[in-house]
Amino acid sequence: MSEYQVPIRDIQFVLYELLDYENHCKKLANADEINRELVDAVLEEGAKFCEQVIAPLNRSGDEQGCSFNDGVVTTPEGFKSAYQQYVDGGWPSMCHSTEHGGQGLPESLGNVLSEITGTANWSWAMYPGLSHGAMKTLELHGTEEQKQTYLSKLVEGVWTGTMCLTEAHCGTDLGLLKTKAEPREDGSYAIHGSKIFISAGEHDMAENIVHIVLARLPDAPEGTKGISLFVVPKFLPSKDGQLGERNKLSCGSIEHKMGIHGNATCVLNFDGASGFLIGPPNRGLHCMFTFMNTARLGTAIQGLAHGELGYQKSLAYTRERLQMRALSGAKAPDKPADPIIVHPDVRRMLLSQKAFTEGGRMLIYYAALLADIEQQGSSGDNSEEADLLALLTPVAKAFVTETGFESANLALQCFGGHGYIREWGVEQNVRDARISMLYEGTTGIQALDLLGRKVLMSQGELLKRFTKIIHKYCKAHIENNTLEEFAVPLSKLNTEWGELTLHVGMAAMNDPEEVGAAAVDYLMYSGYVALAYFWARAAEIALQKSESAEKDFYLGKLKTARFYYQRILPRTRALAVTIKSGAANLMDIEEEQF
């Protein structure tokens, strides 16, 4: 069976043709010298590492899993060696400040690397991926001493990082957490408590692990306003930056999971471990959102990764698998049966995967460019990009993971019974994908964030940032005969998006439950419209270049856009109905009537 191949041409299409990446970099304070030659070199070298080093470890890592022995976690065979090659190649430092040993490349380029490493082997990619968020948190909120102590080692990759939020009695509701931080005379804190579901919380791939931990000070107010943030290393660094004594924390066990077996998901026990305050007291959740927002976009990439991997596997299989004849007559008369790619329903499944995967890539990369400008745009006022990013982050996280899982399932379906067995790798892809809709905030939590906090609490202003962009696009193209098939339906949906928002907002004035009742359907509606906008833009480019030397590539884009508009986008019709159906059909049933 074919192994993963990095989709370099499609990545280049999104970066250069859709998003004008070279000009984007010129707008950034520290990236104005970045050009296509450099970016393509990163892509090519990254592709070699992904295809030759970590993709071959994906299945073996799933089968072996991580082992646990008295607090010691051993990763699957080959993982540690691959990580050392990753460090030797300078990959961990790519998008971090040169001040701490980084290369200073844009965060958006790091997202591309996250996609291709994650598609090659998601379990492996989580180890360096979680370090990235820890570094960003320290860069933005750490003291100079903390930056000097931890960042250079994290940037180099010899240390890795985690985020420690969840406890057994509280998942998303962090206001309930009980981990305590008791101040000591030397300025450090004694951390007491347990955290669960800590990905990469213990392993043998790096010499030290730097945990970013939420805990409560003794005098902290209740709820989320009483949470502080701490850096708690596995080994305490000495004054010269080398490893010192083992801190008082340990791995109590690793979880037995449905998927991502190659990544250790740990229970961590803090027994008076030495921690150091990051940011102001009781403002830990504010600081942690740096980590969480990075992780949410990273989780959106997971949906893209599993969609891409499933699509590649099922496309290769359906071109080779012979079964039945086409209803319109034999397509391969020299063979005993036709390849199943000729059958309409198989094409429905393949095109759904292609539309969601390539559309998801456009949305995620667009959000990554907004993050670049928010963080280091040279224009000064980057509030518009920040607002757009705030709106699109929950959409990208939830919608792309939902459709990524749908795509992974469709890939398995293309294989028929063969998809249900281990040898082909598609059942692993389904299992690995399922967690993406749960961690970093479930789809329901992302939906509440989108509709409740981002849209309604801003009185629709954040939504208008994006709907105005779509409106301008449609206005410019609605009378263009070649683009009318996209601009007309997109314009109608864009108007309806605002109308549905107003409907839910008015209903919520009488019953707050209306927000929760509509939230997930509203988020999915938002995702379908967002992808429709990007597919319209892709179709425009494809029409302009449909007679070029890459005719098939561009015609593939155009025809996928048409499929999306005609076969996928009509799902918004049902969602508009369910959004308007209200909360009563959910809330009127009494608990004992279930």
- Per DSSP, the three-state class of 180 is strand
Average pLDDT over residues 450-473: 97
- pLDDT tens across 8-22, in order? 999 999 999 999 999
Tokens of residue 583, six digits = 């909360």
> What distance in Å separates the CA atoms of residue 411 and residue 354, rounded to the nearest whole number?
11
Evaluate if residue 536 carries a pLDDT over 70: yes
DSSP, res 259: S
Between 8-22, 160-174, 270-284, 386-400, the lowest mean confidence (pLDDT) is in 160-174
- pLDDT tens across 390-419, in order? 999 999 999 999 999 999 999 999 999 999
Question: What number of other Cβ atoms are within 10 A of residue 220's Cβ?
Answer: 17
Range 456-465, long-range pairs (CB < 8 A, 24+ positions):
456/501, 456/504, 456/505, 456/508, 456/515, 460/498, 460/501, 460/502, 460/505, 461/387, 462/387, 462/388, 462/390, 462/391, 463/391, 463/497, 463/498, 463/501, 464/498, 465/384, 465/387, 465/388, 465/391
> What is the structure's pLDDT at 380?
64
Between 94-103, 258-267, 572-581, the lowest mean confidence (pLDDT) is in 94-103
Helix (DSSP H) and strand (DSSP E) numbers for the chain = 20, 11
> What is the structure's pLDDT at 379?
64
Nearest Cα neighbor of 362 from 531, 208, 556 is 531
> What is the structure's pLDDT at 291?
64
Confidence of residue 109 (pLDDT cuts 50, 70, 90): very high
Kindly calculate the radius of gyration of the chain based on its CA atoms and give it in whole angstroms. Answer: 24
For the chain, what are the domain ranges?
442-586
Evaluate if residue 488 carries a pLDDT over 70: yes
Average pLDDT over residues 146-171: 92
Evaluate if residue 1 carries a pLDDT over 60: no
- pLDDT tens across 118-150, in order? 999 999 999 999 998 899 899 989 999 999 999
Distances (CA, A) of 518 to 105, 397, 401, 493, 528: 40, 18, 19, 17, 16
> What is the structure's pLDDT at 45?
98
Active site positions, annotated: 440
Confidence of residue 436 (pLDDT cuts 50, 70, 90): very high
With a pLDDT cut of 90, the percent of the chain lying above it is 86
Evaluate if residue 293 carries a pLDDT over 80: no
Tokens of residue 78, six digits = 């080959």
Confidence of residue 378 (pLDDT cuts 50, 70, 90): low
- Per DSSP, the three-state class of 245 is strand
Average pLDDT over residues 453-479: 96
> What is the structure's pLDDT at 482?
92
Confidence of residue 171 (pLDDT cuts 50, 70, 90): low
Question: Is the CA virtual torsion 138, 398, 469, 522 positive or negative?
Answer: negative
- pLDDT tens across 329-376, in order? 999 999 999 999 999 999 999 999 999 999 999 999 999 999 999 888
> What is the structure's pLDDT at 288?
77
- pLDDT tens across 172-229, in order? 777 678 999 999 999 999 999 999 999 999 999 999 999 999 999 999 998 888 999 9
Q: Give residue 543's Cα distance to chain centre.
A: 30
Q: Give residue 363's Cα distance to chain centre.
A: 11
Chain-wide mean pLDDT for the chain?
Answer: 95
Average pLDDT over residues 276-294: 84
Global pTM? 0.96
> What distance in Å separates the CA atoms of residue 99 and residue 151, rounded to the nearest whole number?
10
Question: What number of other Cβ atoms are within 10 A of residue 406's Cβ?
Answer: 17
